[in-house]
Chain A
Amino acid sequence: MADAGLVAQQAVVAVAVMAACVYVVRRQFPQALRRGRMRLVLVLLRPHRAAWLQRLGRRLAPKVAAGPAAAACGQSGSCGGCSPG
């Protein structure tokens, strides 16, 4: 019984440490994480991969952000391409 309690404690600690690890990586290294995900997704989506791997790849694919033009729009004010009027 005591052993079961200890195993349960170890399981909770393992989950907490993993969650902390994921949180720190997502917060501190979002670009590196995104790049890593993209690499993994590209490997999973290769044509000869099994269907379930391809499905997993599509699920793991990061959401498409607004394109670079949209992201930059309004931040530099230098393009002049969409000035009022």
Chain B
Amino acid sequence: MSAATATAALRLALVGSPNCGKTALFNQLTGSRQKVANYAGVTVERKEGRFHAPSGREYALLDLPGAYSLDAASLDEAVTRDVCRGFYPGEPTPDVLVCVVDATNLRLHLRFALEVRELARQVGRPMVLAVNMMDAAQRRGIAVDLGVLEAELGVPVVPTVAVRHDGAAELVGALDRTVQHPQPPRAGLIDASPAGDALHAETRRLLALAVDMPRRTAKVDDTLDRLLLHPALGLLSLAVVMFLIFQAVYAWATPVMDLIDAGTVWLGEAVGGALPEGPLNSLLVDGIIAGLGGVIIFLPQIVILFAFILALEESGYLPRAAFLLDRLMAGAGLSGRSFIPLLSSFACAIPGIMATRSIQDPRDRLATIMVAPLMTCSARLPVYALLIGAFIPAQSVGIFNLQGLVLFALYAAGILSALVVAWIMKKWRRDKSEHALMLELPSYRLPHPRDLLIGLWERAWIFLRRVGGIILALTVLLWFLLSFPGAPEGATGPAIDYSFAGRIGHALTAVFAPIGFNWQICIALIPGMAAREVAVSSLATVYALQAADEAAATEALTPIITDTWSLATALSLLVWFIYAPQCISTLATIKRETGSWRQVAIATGYLFALAYLAAFVTYRVALALGAG
């Protein structure tokens, strides 16, 4: 996406440290008028939105990645710095810099505001300082003298409450005044190239002048932290939270999934009946509708999972989880810093691997990159959901849902495997020293429904775009490979056996038969290399084309595999997907981040070996227990 805005809207850049409420302010100002993409050449998220001030002026607002300093230590910080300076390729210099600070955490955020002010002076752009979360500061008895701050900083300073309906009104007013008389900040008291010590001294001076803080932390934070950061109770709480999430994914999604399933079947029948027999009919019904319907059905589960992850993120709990897991992760050769990249890998390994750029120690970074593909990315969820729904009975075990328990076990197996692999890597390396974790623990806050809804919409949209993009394209190609060439004259077997994909699938069974995979699964593994969830749409297409009649072709995938696969095969495939390295994009990202084909080969080799070995053991044990 071109960064330049189409009309003459004034460009604002929203900058601030993580957890300052910047994104909530962005949502407050722009509502749903947002475009989410990536910065050119990197996978740092770029969010732009527009809004009209009461004056009628239109603003284009860019939500820059959170940064603690402009002396960049991570890719996010480098992007923020370069966009503000106008150095980022394709991004014009913003007209006004809006720096957001958390009124309850000025000790940390004012230092960054001073850096931004210096940068605004250098690039000759005006700056507005938004002191956010003023309501929270008031509740904690923190008094911020905005007049003194404004006089000392030489830039307009306004209070904001991003979660309140009119909480950004003063900011919009200040922006209107600023753009009428744009004036870059004057030279400050500190040196033009602010060294760390000078910045700290200036921050302390400003705090002494303008801020009255009865206590450093909120009482409620201290009380909650005593429980949630407790070495035993904290870990127990984390386990309970994660466990409940996976229970909810199954318990709440079923009614909507049934609706989508019924809609897919109806659409297939309607389109099949409306079009005359022929290749286009088959492409639409057996290929596109069966294939994409088989993937879209899992949207409700993905939305529920992300609702919980977003809520935890907004509440300030996630950095605490990183802190809690630091000791455990250090024991396995990782660090607490690996937590956020690994957590991101639950959405997709690619942003997770990119997020390791914030890990400064190359040893920890490499270990995190190598185990990130073991985290259960959202693309695996449709596969898990299909197999669990088909083979694990929807019954209760005590107060728990058995299907939710299995899903939890699959996620736990991925995490446990990552820890074991990292531990083995730690044993092999020469440098065994540990590195201390430094982390900001933000105040607890209740997630705002608006921010959650916007976040969920973004995630759902990303999923739907994949369905309409790469998954659709691969489904069409797979349908072609499954349909051509047709059966020769006098052929006795089903036509699909003579197709390109049929022949490939049959050839691959020589490798995968020992782990219980039939030729249909073997075919599905190939397009699954581009996107794992395509394995589901591929299975749906294979079985739809293989069906003897039209009624059978429009049947849902779940009952078909329940009838034709053994439980041992299903369990083997579930275990395969915990480890399977079949994601070309992930491997390409490992190459880009490590700059080494050797690391790509190691990652591919160990993941394939683990997948095959674990699936083999699972299949054989299941057969021995009579699950064949």
Give the interface of A toward B (CB within 8 A).
Answer: 2, 5-6, 9-10, 12-13, 16-17, 19-21, 23-24, 27-28, 66, 70-71, 73-77, 82-85
Contact = CB atoms under 8 A, between A and B. Distances in A.
B87 A12 contact: no
A70 B193 CA distance: 23
Given A23-B469, A74-B88, A84-B85, A12 B474 contact: no
A83 to B, nearest CB: 8
Interface in B85-102: 85, 87-90
A71 B41 contact: yes
A12 to B, nearest CB: 5
Interface stretch (B70-78, B300-308, B560-568): B70-78
Interface string B54-91: 00000000000000001111010111011001011110
B82 A24 contact: no
**Interface size range of chain B in the complex:** 35 or more
A12 B280 contact: yes
Interface of B: 41-42, 70-73, 75, 77-79, 81-82, 85, 87-90, 118-119, 122, 192-193, 276, 278-281, 283, 469-470, 472-474, 476-477, 480, 530, 584-585
A74 B469 contact: no
Nearest to A82: B87
B70 A84 contact: yes
Main SS of chain A's interface residues?
helix
A6 B281 CA distance: 10
Nearest to A84: B122
B53 to A, nearest CB: 31
Nearest to A31: B588
A12 B283 CA distance: 10
B280 A77 contact: no
B279 A66 contact: no
Given A28-B584, A74-B87, A75-B78, A84 B279 contact: no
A84 B283 contact: no
A74 B81 contact: yes
Most central of B85, B470, B473, B477 by chain A CB within 10 Å: B473
Contacts of A83: 193
Nearest to B275: A9
Nearest to B90: A66
Given A74-B72, A74-B78, A74-B79, A9 B88 contact: no
Contact of B585 (A28, A77, A85): A28
A23 to B, nearest CB: 4
Contacts of B71: 77
Given A24-B470, A73-B82, 8 more contacts: A5-B278, A13-B279, A17-B477, A71-B41, A71-B89, A75-B78, A77-B73, A84-B122
